[in-house]
């Protein structure tokens, strides 16, 4: 193989990798956009958004669908339905997301240590 053929083959292999990298970058970007949108959802009792409270555990995106795994501050949270509905609406407001599923989990259980350190300091924790 000539040097030119070697270079062309390397470019072709790299192009395939670039496509995979672009897809991963796109998913990462959508995850960050969803995380940003979720900051508009607040726990009205505390007046803090669910991301900074540490209620959002995971965000996955695939093929225009988002899955948000989160918890609430307590199983008896009176605003639970409103928060969950707000999280779904916020995720679905992101361009490219056509459907979102919000899954409520209790493990790990939420504690104040999950609050963003800056917010926790402002709260006096």
Q: What is the DSSP string of 17-76?
A: HHHHHHHHHHHHHHHHHHHHHHTT-EETTTTEETTTTT-EEEEEEETTEEEEEE--S-TT
Cα–Cα distance for residue pair 116/104, rounded to 1 Å: 20
pLDDT in tens, 34-44: 999 999 999 98
Closest CA to 36 of 95, 91, 115, 110: 91
Q: Give Cα separations from 6 to 1, 2, 9 (angstroms).
A: 7, 6, 5
Q: Which helix (H) or strand (E) holds 91?
A: helix 80-92
End-to-end CA distance of the chain: 66
pLDDT in tens, 59-91: 999 999 999 999 999 999 999 999 999 999 999
3-123 is a CATH 3.10.20.30 domain: no
pLDDT in tens, 12-34: 444 455 555 565 666 689 999 99
- pTM, two decimals, is 0.78
């Amino acid at each position: 193989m000539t040097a030119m053929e070697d270079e062309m083959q390397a470019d072709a292999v790299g192009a395939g990798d670039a496509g995979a990298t672009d897809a991963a970058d796109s998913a990462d970007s959508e995850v960050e956009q969803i995380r940003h949108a979720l900051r508009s959802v607040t726990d009205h009792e505390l007046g803090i958004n669910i991301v900074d409270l540490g209620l959002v555990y995971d965000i996955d995106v695939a093929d225009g669908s988002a899955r948000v795994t989160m918890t609430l501050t307590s199983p008896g949270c009176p605003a639970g339905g409103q928060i969950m509905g707000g999280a779904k609406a916020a995720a679905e407001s992101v361009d490219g997301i056509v459907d979102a599923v919000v899954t409520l989990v209790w493990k790990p259980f939420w504690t104040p240590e999950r609050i963003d350190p800056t917010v926790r300091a402002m709260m006096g924790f």
